[in-house]
């Protein structure tokens, strides 16, 4: 009996694995033409100035509307796109599309775009960024490229060289999901990042958990010491915002203010999230 049960459990897992493999295959097959079939969309989530209130920046976030599976979250399709290499074309589309959109926003409002580590290592990235800027007319200082610590792993000199070339275009470079990766803090000395984004897993524990407070205090202190501005992502409550303000965090992003929205809803957000109209907290 025990043996039979064991086999049953095994078959169950086998079936689940088959389903996962099949879904991944379907996603991979679907991604191939997703760009050409116009199934990709961008959402924009505002970043808010913690002291003065008001929107300082929008982060562009990719969405995939699959014809049968519906909206597939980036956490699921980005890894598949990275494995297959499609991320390069998709990322360039996101960059070009978001820059065109942002060129019509009132200055000095900024645009943030995520770069995949795969995209980062492909030759042609710097040229693609330069093209997106010149085609759209967006001023380089209004574009912020978000990279994660995993971009920095290995090939240190080559990575630093790419970062410097991007910086030479005049764009800003932000370190995303800070604290979740494995990169050495030495990078912060070797490359002058413009911004650190505290990962939402740390923000989540605010304002009560001592460990979360200690980490946020450490990151904001480090940012101050190095002259790097610090942003928090995943801000959902007034209590979290208050704790971040106390620690000297300069920008906040999260559902407390707005989820990512289609470009058409941006004007309404401007009205709702005006500078120092009462901050949500």
Q: Which helix (H) or strand (E) segment is 158 a member of?
A: helix 156-168
Q: Is 101 in the site for Mg ion (CB under 5 A)?
A: no
Counting every residue written for the chain, the total comes to 281
What distance in Å separates the CA atoms of residue 107 and residue 22, rounded to the nearest whole number? Answer: 46
Q: Is 232 in the site for ligand C2E (CB under 6 A)?
A: no
Q: Is 146 in the site for Mg ion (CB under 5 A)?
A: yes
- Segment interacting with ligand C2E, rule: CB under 6 A, options 114-122, 182-190, 211-219, 241-249: 114-122
Residue 77 Cβ vs Mg ion, minimum distance, rounded to whole Å: 16
Residue 50 φ then ψ, to 5°? -70, -40
Q: Is 251 in the site for Mg ion (CB under 5 A)?
A: no
Residues paired with residue 148 on neighbouring β-strands, in sequence order: 176
Q: Is 6 in the site for ligand C2E (CB under 6 A)?
A: no
Among 145, 202, 205, smallest CA distance to 170 is for 145
What distance in Å separates the CA atoms of residue 24 and residue 110, rounded to the nearest whole number? Answer: 35
Q: Is 176 in the site for Mg ion (CB under 5 A)?
A: yes
Q: Which helix (H) or strand (E) segment is 89 a member of?
A: helix 87-102
Q: Is 233 in the site for Mg ion (CB under 5 A)?
A: yes
**What mask, x for binding ligand C2E by CB under 6 A, covers residues 59 to 98?**
--xx----------xxx--x------------x--x----
Residues paired with residue 72 on neighbouring β-strands, in sequence order: 64
Residues that bind ligand C2E (CB under 6 A): 45, 61-62, 73-75, 78, 91, 94, 114-116, 146, 176-177, 200, 233-236, 253-255, 260
């Amino acid at each position: 009996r025990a043996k039979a049960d064991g086999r049953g459990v095994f078959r169950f897992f086998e079936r689940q694995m088959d389903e996962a493999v099949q879904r991944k295959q379907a996603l991979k097959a679907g991604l191939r033409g997703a760009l050409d079939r116009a199934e990709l969309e961008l959402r924009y989530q505002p970043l808010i100035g913690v002291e003065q209130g008001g929107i300082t920046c929008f982060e562009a976030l990719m969405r995939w509307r699959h014809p049968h599976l519906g909206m597939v979250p980036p956490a699921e399709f980005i890894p598949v796109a990275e494995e297959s290499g499609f991320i390069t074309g998709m990322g360039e589309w996101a960059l070009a599309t978001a820059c065109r959109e942002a060129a019509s926003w009132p200055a000095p409002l900024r645009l943030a775009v995520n770069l995949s580590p795969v995209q980062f290592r492909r030759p042609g990235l710097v040229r693609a960024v330069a093209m997106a800027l010149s085609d759209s007319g967006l001023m380089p200082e209004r574009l912020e490229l978000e990279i994660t610590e995993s971009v920095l792993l290995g090939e240190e000199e080559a990575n630093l060289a790419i970062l410097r070339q991007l910086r030479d275009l005049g764009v800003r470079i932000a370190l995303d999901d800070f604290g979740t990766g494995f990169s050495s803090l030495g990078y912060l000395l070797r490359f002058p990042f413009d911004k650190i984004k505290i990962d939402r897993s740390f923000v989540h524990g605010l304002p009560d958990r001592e460990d979360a407070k200690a980490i946020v205090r450490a990151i904001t202190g480090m940012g101050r010491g190095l002259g790097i501005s610090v942003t928090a992502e995943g801000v959902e409550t007034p209590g979290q915002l208050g704790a971040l303000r106390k620690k000297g965090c300069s920008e906040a992003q999260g559902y407390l203010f707005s989820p990512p929205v289609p470009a058409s809803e941006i004007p309404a957000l401007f009205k709702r999230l005006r500078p120092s109209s009462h901050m949500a907290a």
